[in-house]
Amino acid sequence: MQQTENLNIEAFDLLPTPEEVHARVPLSEAAAESVLAGRRSLERILDGSDPRLFVVVGPCSIHDPVAGLDYARRLKQLADEVADSLFLVMRVYFEKPRTATGWKGYINDPRMDDSFHIEEGLHKAREFLRAVNEIGLPAGTEALDPIAPQYLGDLIAWTAIGARTSESQTHREMSSGLSTPVGFKNGTDGSLDAAVNAIISASSPHSFLGINMQGRSSVVRTAGNRYGHLVLRGGGGRPNYDTVSVALAESALKKARLANNLVVDCSHANSYKNPELQPLVMQDCINQVIAQRKSGHRSIVGLMIESFIESGNQSIPADLSQLKYGCSVTDACVDWSTTETMIRDAATALRAPRV
C-alpha cells in the first residue's frame, strides 16, 4: 500500500500531558490568589463597576527569565503606588507570530538556537508565570497556539488575540472557553470587522477539537466568554487611537450590541513601531479618558505598553552571552525610566479633580 499521509513529517515527538506539567510546576496558593484577584479586577473594570483603567505593560516577549523577574519586581512596586487609579497587568508573551521566519518565542525555542525544545519551553514558561503571580502581579499573554492554554491557562489573568488571528475560527472558539477576559485586536489593515465579529463569536458556546488535561484528543464544549473586548492597535499605515477613530469604534460596538469597552495599544501601528512615540500615544489617550469622564461617558478602559528594562531591541547573537541584559529581542520597547514616567504621569492626571 502506498503511503498517502505524513509525507512532509519528519517526526512526532511526544510531549508531557498538561496534567504532568501541572504536577511538575503546581499552582501555588499565592499564585492562585493573584490570578483570581486579577481576573476579578479586570471583570469589574469591563463591567463598569471599577472606574480604574487597566494597563497591560511589559516586554514585547520574554526571553530571559532573570531579566523578566527583575522587571516584574519593579513593576509590582509601581503597581502598588498607582493602584488607586490604574490596575497594572504584566505583559508576559511567550509565543511570537512571524510574518515569514524568525524566533518563535520562549515556548517554541527556549534555548534560542533553533533546537525547539518545546517540552522545556512549556515547563520554564509555567515556572516564570508562577513566579510573576507569586510576586503579586497578574499576567497577560497572547494566545497563539490553541493547545498551550491547557498547559498555562490557570496562571493567566488577561488574554490577547492578535491582529493576524482575530479572524481565525480556531482562536474565536478557543477564546469562548478561556477563563480570562479576552482582547481582540483589530486587523493589520486597521479594519474593525474581524475583531467585532470575534467578540460576538467568542461570547457564544462552541464545540471543537482539542485536548484534555490528560492529553487525549477531545471534543471541547464551551459556555462562551462574555468578557471579550476590542483592542485598537492601528493598521493600514495609520494609528487609530484618535478621537475620530475611537468614536468609530464605539459606533461599531454599539451596532453589534456589544459592551462599549476599548483598549488602546500604544505600540505597533499606533506608534508607527517607534517606541519613543508610545508616551505621546498614552498621553493622548489619558486626555481622552479625562474628557470622557467629564461628559459622563466611558469607552477607553485599558492601555497596552511595550516596555522593558532597556530601550530599543537587539538581534539574537550566535553567542548568547553577548545578549544585552533587559533588552527586547523582538519589537523595540521603552526603557524602565520612561515606563515609570508614563505610568506615574497617567495616574497623576487621572487623580486630578474634575473642573
- Residue range 155-170: average pLDDT? 97
Compute the distance between CA of residue 184 and CA of residue 172 in angstroms, rounded to an integer: 9
Q: What is the pLDDT of residue 245?
A: 98
In the Cβ-directed half-sphere of 39, how many Cα atoms lie within 13 Å? 20
Arithmetic mean of pLDDT over the chain = 96
Compute the distance between CA of residue 135 and CA of residue 81 in angstroms, rounded to an integer: 15
CB 61 within 8 A of CB 310: no
Percent of the chain scored above 70 by pLDDT?
Answer: 98
User: Which stretches does DSSP call E strand in 215-339?
Assistant: 217-221, 228-232, 262-265, 300-306
Cell of 325: 541584559
CB 148 within 8 A of CB 105: no
Domains of the chain from N-terminus onward: 18-46+53-351 (3.20.20.70)
Cell of 120: 522545556
pLDDT in tens, 48-93: 999 999 999 999 999 999 999 999 999 999 999 999 999 999 999 9
- Higher pLDDT among residues 103 and 254, named by residue: 254
pLDDT in tens, 220-266: 999 999 999 999 999 998 999 999 999 999 999 999 999 999 999 99
CB 267 within 8 A of CB 278: yes
Would the pLDDT of 354 be above 70?
A: no
Compute the distance between CA of residue 190 and CA of residue 6 in angstroms, rounded to an integer: 38
Q: What is the pLDDT of residue 107?
A: 96
CB 57 within 8 A of CB 339: yes
pLDDT in tens, 84-99: 999 999 999 998 776 6
